[in-house]
Amino acid sequence: MSPLLMLVEDGPGDVELVRVALRRTGRGTRLLVARDGVEALERLRADDEQLPDLLLVDVNLPRMGGHELLAEVRRDPLLARLPLVLFSTSSLEEDVLEARRLGADDYVTKPDGGRALVQAVAELERVWLGPGGRAFSDRGPAAAGRAPGRP
């Protein structure tokens, strides 16, 4: 089955950009979109929904932000091992460090251009979803002790 990516993002532009990026990479990754942390948690916990292989979460969200969602996910025993990558405009070192401290698996700065975004998404797919990547399917005990950052 093709991998599933859940994007938690309130900006329709960014959703569209990610959609285009996924289309361009052509791996067939399916996209699930939640508008904020609350909606994301609801859908993650719904019985009839399939769990995504990767969570790409915007930091600034209405109702429940990315950091809070990250904490909720890590607290939930059923969700704790989901790979979660934070996704934000800021490229500041302190924000990157904060994300890692909170337990995000990675931090990706939203690139300025469409082309750069496609590259970033492709990289994410390669690392987390692709063959040889740390796909959700083989996430096991290794996920908990995974060192943040790119391998």
Partner 1 sequence: MPETPSLLSRRRLERAGSLHWLHAVVVGLSVLLTLGAWHVSREQVEERKRRQFERECEQVLGMVRERMQKYEDALWGGVALIDTLGRDVRHGEWLRFTETLDIETKYPGINGLGVIFRVERGELDAFLDGQRVGRPGFRVHPEHGEHTLYPITFIEPVADNQQAVGLDMAHEENRHAAVRAARDTGRATITGPIVLVQDEARSPGFLFFVPFYGDALDPTEGGALRGVVYAPFVVRKLMEGVLHKENRHVGVRITDGDEVLYDEHLSEEPDHDPEPLHRTRQRLELYGRSWEFDLRSTRSFRSAQGSAQPLTILLSGLTIDALLLWIFLGLSRANRRALQYADDANRELTEKAADLERSNEDLARFAYVASHDLQEPLRMVGSFAELLDEEYRARLDEQGRRWLAFLVDGAHRMQALVRDLLTYSRVGRHEYSFGPVDADRLLHGVLGDLAGAVEEAGAVLRCEPLPTLWGDEAQLRLVLQNLVSNALKFRDPGRRAVVQVRAVPAQGEGRVMLEVEDSGIGIEQRYADRVFAIFQRLHTHDAYRGTGLGLAIAKKIVEDHGGSISFRSEPGRGTTFRVELRTPPRGPSLARTRHRRPARRSA
Nearest by Cα to 82 from 109, 103, 112: 103
Q: Which is nearer to partner 1, 49 or 112 (CB)?
A: 112
Q: How far is the CB of 56 from partner 1 (least distance, A)?
A: 16
β pairing state of 84-88 and 54-58: parallel
Q: How far is the CB of 60 from partner 1 (least distance, A)?
A: 9
| Cα dist from 116 to 6, 9, 57, 66, 76, whole Å | 20, 18, 18, 22, 34
Q: How far is the CB of 58 from partner 1 (least distance, A)?
A: 11
Q: Which is nearer to partner 1, 36 or 105 (CB)?
A: 36
Binding residues for partner 1 (CB under 8 A)? 11, 13, 17, 20, 89, 93, 110-115, 117
The dihedral of CA 68, 84, 52, 57: what is its sign?
positive
